[in-house]
Amino acid sequence: MNFEQRRWQHMVAAMIMALCAGIGYTWSVFQKPLMEHFQWNLQAISLTFTIQILVSTMAPVFLGKYQKIWGVKTYLRIGIAIYVAGLIATMFTSSIGYLYIIYGVVVGTGISMLYPCLMAYSGSLFPDKTGMAAGMLACAYGGGSILWAPMAAAFIGKHGALQVFGLFALIFAVVMIPTSFLIGEVPENFRPESKNKTQGADLPAGRDYTWKEMMKTPRYYIIVLALTLGTTAGLMIMGHASTILQEIQSFTPEKAAVIIGIISIFNALGRLGFGFISDRLGRYPVMLLLFAVIGSSMLLLTRAEGTVFVVALFAISSCYGGFTSMFSPICADNFGIKNLAVNYSFLYVAYGFAGVIGPQLAAATKAMGNGYNLAFLTVAAMSLVGFVLTLYLKSLR
């Protein structure tokens, strides 16, 4: 069996590992119980999620080069060890500073060695279908909370929030360590011929850029800004969904956890669906649609109640999922496949910027006593800016 035939086996293994690495999207389930247990305020506790996102997206800039030095398998196994150790240590949290360091920095570092590596790896497995590969991998990562959020909510009700981290550490170690043996190195210059010639997809890069060459192009900075604006809404909702539902819609914690699970399904479907669609229609037309839907949905959140409010959250989650599946294909389209593992890390910083802006924007406006409406309106305006930037990028094709 040649590598082109075996790559599906490697892809499934990568998806299973990404599923386990997706605990970050369950944070809103932990947030309120931890606030009540330790008497921490919303801004203080939400900073934990911001730190974790920031570390998990910025660390690959410094660590990404070791993927080639150590090989994907070794790199991932070190990431698993850090990730699991961090979750175990989180069980012993006694102060907010400890939580910032252990969950924010240590767990964040583990995630930084897992998801970005797996995303770039999936693109290398399928250089002929980067949108599909990114969508499938991102779907697995985002879909993790479909399993983990209800499990965490049920366990928290019986044993408290801190013990859940130990349970997840055990589950992830048992699943991820054996799965890592199914990851295979991609042969250099692996370029299978595409059987489906797409008509609407963006033209691939004329050459392979190094990360230094990429960062000298104005296009890189515009893409980073556009992706930052696109992912801010989703990260704000993911970080505060449970609190938003409980305080604005008066949901119980259990009902909010169920809705978060459904939000995660839409997130996963958005990653999968928009990844496939972008291979056909192109990345920029899909991004224009995503910005339009997010902006409209944010405006709805300031007025809507009940079912319409929840549907707007579903729409935002789906579009956020779509944006996460754009990172790797846009990087490959604009800067080539050869150095995707390293170049992707520099594009992925957009996710980190959004991770700071989104959750902290929501926490700050809530602390001002005006609820979340100002945050919703701000993100709607950001979506308009992103729409204009995407039009400009599209004009450069």
Kindly report, residue by residue over 178-187, the tens digit of the pLDDT: 999 999 888 8
Q: How far is CA 397 from CA 277, 279, 282, 388, in A?
A: 18, 16, 11, 15
* Under 8 Å between Cβ of 284 and 390: yes
Contacts of 170 by beta carbon, 8 Å cutoff, 6+ apart:
none
Kindly report, residue by residue over 23-69, the tens digit of the pLDDT: 877 887 888 899 888 988 887 888 898 889 889 988 998 988 888 88
Does residue 86 have a pLDDT over 90?
A: yes
Does residue 90 have a pLDDT over 90?
A: yes
pLDDT at 236: 84
Q: Give the CATH number for residue 270.
A: 1.20.1250.20
Tally of structural domains, the chain: 1
Short-list 46, 53, 51, CA closest to 115: 53
Question: What does residue 116 show for φ and ψ, rounded to 5 degrees?
Answer: -60, -40
Contacts of 288 by beta carbon, 8 Å cutoff, 6+ apart:
387, 390, 391, 394
Tokens of 124: 């290398």
Kindly report, residue by residue over 99-117, the tens digit of the pLDDT: 999 999 999 999 999 999 9
What global pTM score does this model have?
Answer: 0.80
Does residue 204 have a pLDDT over 70?
A: no
* Under 8 Å between Cβ of 278 and 329: yes
pLDDT at 288: 96
* Under 8 Å between Cβ of 109 and 62: no
Q: How far is CA 49 from CA 45, 101, 102, 258, 329, in A?
A: 8, 11, 12, 20, 26
Kindly report, residue by residue over 209-261, the tens digit of the pLDDT: 988 999 999 999 999 999 999 999 888 887 777 778 888 887 887 788 788 77
Kindly report, residue by residue over 145-203, the tens digit of the pLDDT: 778 888 888 888 888 889 999 999 999 999 999 999 999 888 877 777 665 544 445 55
In single-letter form, the type of residue at position 155 comes to F
Question: What does residue 210 show for φ and ψ, rounded to 5 degrees?
Answer: -80, 170
Structural domain span for residue 377? 3-191+198-395
C-alpha span between 171 and 20 (Å, rounded): 8
The end-to-end CA distance of the chain, in Å, is: 38
pLDDT at 199: 43
Q: Which residue has the higher pLDDT, 64 or 298?
A: 298
Kindly report, residue by residue over 332-384, the tens digit of the pLDDT: 889 988 888 889 889 989 988 987 888 778 888 887 877 788 889 999 999 99
